[in-house]
Structure 1
């Protein structure tokens, strides 16, 4: 078959022709207007053309062009001679190059074809010169032939179109043949599809997959890999000592994904994202903090509000029975003040619930520390008042001058001002602030960074010192007369207070996020409620249920006894 090329040009002519030479399809390229070469391969671009030519399997005695209607016999003869000379020249050139390489390597091949033709180098030069002369004489006729070949377009006996495209390639239907082994052991060919390059897009190829029989008599495409491709969410791990196509599929680690099948590595999700369950997509981390919408936050807030009503109720009872001996005993004003502070301590826990902000982070821990220091200082003042009241009854005691509300409030102020100074220094040097912790899987924690852990534990430590002093003084005064037996309840209340906050520290350190906040709120509520119940529940019991014990005569009788 022949292929046509572009329109002819006089100075620089390129041509292509596919001719049948002993049944072998060959592409020939030539150039017009060359100067005489001084050595083999001197033609411009000739080496490039020759590299595209297959070498001859044997030396043909003649080359047939085929039937070309309207083409001069001389042109056909010259074209055949021209093609044969190109092939022969290519073959000789390959042998010369191989012989040259053998000389450089110091090896003399015994079966080299060139040794059978001692004049091989001269033959190559002669072919070269004859090739140039032939093309210079008949180049125009050859180009005219190719010009007509380009316009060839006819139908075969099967009704298929045959023509050449713009590149000179033949456009023809091709059948797809499947060789199948019959039960008798005979190979037979079966057409299972076709290819029509000139048809509409999408209709150029057809394959009847159901008619295809693969090796072994299988109707499914055989698998050519040792292991199946890993699905999305898995990565490949090559098995030791086996070929690279043999691997195991293991799931991606948490926080990593493989969004396509056959991945060798997993991709780590950004800090704000986390892998889904299938490990094939990154999803946004949910933000965690103790909010009022959270069931835990709602429960703690409801408990705090409910418990804050208890000291308010006790305060109302004390105000209503303010002239009774039980209320007057141990400094009535300090009792009122302590009930108010306990209410503030319980309500201070609400500052810890909600979206952490710099403002709430700065004030929530200092507010908690100051309120509790005032509360413990008031308990210490009540304890000191009990001791002074008992000592002042002795003849000649100078403690009578210290007995009264002024001494109690002076004790509260002096003890609380130290805690206030600690909190002011804390806020000034390293104030708490809001931070985002993205190191946790599946969630981003919004929390308050205490700024300085040393200042935080210094604040707690001072509360512990005040509580310990109150405990020691109350325990020392536990054997006072029954009319002043409030120290026993103060002792028990301080034991509860210290126990709660000692257990709080390890629980606070071991938890993170909203549960850390919940632990501190629980400690605030439990310690405040413990103080309220231990100190005031016995008095409320006498006022409400045993009014017969809330008389001066009963107290005098207890003292006499």
Structure 2
């Protein structure tokens, strides 16, 4: 085929453009400086006839005329015309496939720089042409939309998730312990049981208030302990259901406050037992001062007030609902977040009281068996320490919604240890062994 026409048309197009830029006429051309952009602008306006063919550009500067030959270099190295492409008067495109002899044994070779990426892979452009790219899989939490932008992995929303190599995101499932959950119902029923037992023990102790068993258990202090245990049980009910700002505060606030008062009462009971049998002989003035100024109520009141003040740290960063999205990609775990740094002060007092109570109760372990309150307190504290150690260990290792259930169970067991370990043995004596609930029996040491 002949390749002279494109050369002719190109030269003529430039000549026509220069003719107009230089404003040439019959008298000659103007002597002006010609810049390339001036020539290009006139070329795009070209409209002339060459060898009976029209050379024409549209408003965007795209050639709309001319005839192009499609050539194929055959195995002998010669250019063989296999088709044509014309613009004028109509667009015509023709290829004679039978004339093309591909070097790949007759199979048409792929004419792409890079193969298409698989689903879930984004294109990473590595050359100036968009058709040249490498494929990179989109990581978890992202997706690629080939129709909108095949070159970018888009992050999923905070309420969505995706696996590696995804083309869309999925909604995360909300996870929390509902009030209708079987485990939640069982725990709440058990909590009502402890409330009922607390009331029953209070009634039984009030009826037998002047008996030696009730007096040795602490007398009026028993009702304060039982009341605190009952108020602590309120916290258990707020471990279930959709977390709210109010439920998050009530989940921790009553238990920490009233359990601190409960521990202060047991510190007083342990100290009184040790003081009567061991300290009073060496420091009689201490016992006199204790009785004169009602040291037991001073200590309990101080613990109540101090803990109330310390709980004001909750106002700095109170427990609040929190959406945990880092534990499981397909879930949003709803729970109450408590800033341990902001509330650590309110936890120091009950821990200190528990340690002090254990020291006093352990010192009284070898007292007469009729005064076995110290042994019961020691045993309850050991169970308490063991239970909370397990909870803290699991809390650090486990990630899921059932950590709230474990927290509720731990709180419930903390209440049961003192109720069952300290009060129920005395109830058993009052109900089934009245012979041991006499002044003569307690004096027979």
Normalising by the smaller structure, the TM-score range is: 0.5 to 0.7
Cα separation, 2, equivalents of 1:523 and 1:251? 45
Decide which of 225, 231, 235 is 1:344's aligned counterpart: 231
Cα separation, 1, equivalents of 2:24 and 2:358? 119
Q: CA deviation at 1:463?
A: 0.6
Q: In the alignment, which residue of structure 2 is the partner of 1:488?
A: 375
Decide which of 182, 191, 201 is 1:304's aligned counterpart: 191
Q: In the alignment, which residue of structure 2 is the partner of 1:68?
A: none
Decide which of 232, 255, 280 is 2:141's aligned counterpart: 255
Q: In the alignment, which residue of structure 1 is the partner of 2:310?
A: 422
1:380–1:466 contact (8 Å) kept in structure 2? yes
Q: In the alignment, which residue of structure 1 is the partner of 2:331?
A: 443
Cα separation, 2, equivalents of 1:227 and 1:300? 62
Q: In the alignment, which residue of structure 2 is the partner of 1:412?
A: 300
Match of 2:217, SS?
coil
Inter-CA distance 251–45: structure 2 relative to 1 (3 Å threshold): closer
Inter-CA distance 357–392: structure 2 relative to 1 (3 Å threshold): same
Cα separation, 1, equivalents of 2:45 and 2:164? 62
Q: CA deviation at 1:429?
A: 3.9
Decide which of 148, 160, 165 is 1:273's aligned counterpart: 160
Between 1 and 2, higher relative CO (CA 8 Å, sep ≥ 6) is seen in 2
1:500–1:523 contact (8 Å) kept in structure 2? yes
Q: CA deviation at 1:419?
A: 0.9
Inter-CA distance 282–294: structure 2 relative to 1 (3 Å threshold): farther
Cα separation, 2, equivalents of 1:362 and 1:38? 98
CA deviations 1:483-525 (Å, max 9, x no partner) are 2121111122222223434554454455566455344323312
Q: In the alignment, which residue of structure 2 is the partner of 1:37?
A: 26
Decide which of 74, 89, 108 is 1:169's aligned counterpart: 89
1:438–1:445 contact (8 Å) kept in structure 2? yes
Cα separation, 2, equivalents of 1:307 and 1:256? 50
2:249–2:320 contact (8 Å) kept in structure 1? yes
Cα separation, 1, equivalents of 2:94 and 2:116? 32
2:290–2:296 contact (8 Å) kept in structure 1? no
1:446–1:513 contact (8 Å) kept in structure 2? no
Q: CA deviation at 1:374?
A: 1.0
1:357 aligns with 2:244: yes
2:316–2:342 contact (8 Å) kept in structure 1? no
Decide which of 264, 269, 272 is 1:382's aligned counterpart: 269
Inter-CA distance 295–37: structure 2 relative to 1 (3 Å threshold): farther
Match of 1:329, SS?
helix
2:314–2:342 contact (8 Å) kept in structure 1? no
2:176–2:241 contact (8 Å) kept in structure 1? yes
Inter-CA distance 478–178: structure 2 relative to 1 (3 Å threshold): same
Decide which of 179, 192, 196 is 2:98's aligned counterpart: 179
1:543–1:550 contact (8 Å) kept in structure 2? yes
Q: Rg larger in 1 or in 2?
A: 1
TM-score (norm 1): 0.55
2:143–2:167 contact (8 Å) kept in structure 1? yes
Q: In the alignment, which residue of structure 2 is the partner of 1:461?
A: 348
Inter-CA distance 493–403: structure 2 relative to 1 (3 Å threshold): farther
Inter-CA distance 49–537: structure 2 relative to 1 (3 Å threshold): same
Mapping of residues 392-407 of structure 1, within 5 Å: 399=287, 402=290, 407=295
Cα separation, 2, equivalents of 1:304 and 1:226? 71
Q: CA deviation at 1:465?
A: 0.7
Match of 2:150, SS?
coil
Cα separation, 2, equivalents of 1:519 and 1:448? 14
1:504–1:520 contact (8 Å) kept in structure 2? yes
1:467–1:497 contact (8 Å) kept in structure 2? no
Q: In the alignment, which residue of structure 1 is the partner of 2:436?
A: 549
Match of 1:258, SS?
strand
Cα separation, 1, equivalents of 2:150 and 2:374? 74
Structure 1 unmatched ranges of 5 or more? 1-20, 55-82, 88-166, 182-186, 188-212
Q: Size of the alignment, in residue pairs?
A: 384
Cα separation, 2, equivalents of 1:250 and 1:225? 18
Cα separation, 1, equivalents of 2:106 and 2:289? 116
Q: CA deviation at 1:295?
A: 5.5
Q: Which moved more, 1:375-384 or 1:353-362?
A: 353-362
2:391–2:407 contact (8 Å) kept in structure 1? yes
Q: In the alignment, which residue of structure 1 is the partner of 2:80?
A: none
CA deviations 1:204-239 (Å, max 9, x no partner) are xxxxxxxxx997466xx7655587522332335799
Match of 1:257, SS?
strand
Decide which of 406, 415, 425 is 1:538's aligned counterpart: 425
Cα separation, 1, equivalents of 2:89 and 2:222? 109
